[in-house]
Amino acid sequence: MRILFINKFLYPNGGSETYVFKLGSYLQSIGHEVQYFGMEHEGRCVGNAVNAYTKDMDFHDGRFFKADLFRQDNLFQ
């Protein structure tokens, strides 16, 4: 089976990354093709065959979460 894991980080950063990397390693060991997609980062330890990633983004400064974007009337039209 061909499997694509999508996660924000592709380097050891916490519990979700540890789980994804261990599960991916196990699935590869039993014969599955495993690829990963996430943000580009210098510490990336897994990847994909086409070397395609999103740019490294910082979500802590708030510019991706503008109040007008998430107003109820914008979400439910």
Residues 6+ apart with CB under 8 A from 65: 59
Q: Could you tell me the residue ranges of all domains in the chain?
A: 2-75
pTM: 0.70
Task: List the beta strands (DSSP E) in the chain.
Answer: 2-6, 33-37
pLDDT for 11 beyond 70: yes
Per-residue pLDDT at 66: 60
The pLDDT, as a whole number, for residue 21 is 94
Q: What is the pLDDT of residue 20?
A: 94
Cα 52 from Cα 64, distance rounded (Å): 22
Q: What is the pLDDT of residues 20-75, one digit of tens each?
A: 999 999 999 999 999 999 888 888 888 888 888 888 777 666 666 565 555 555 44
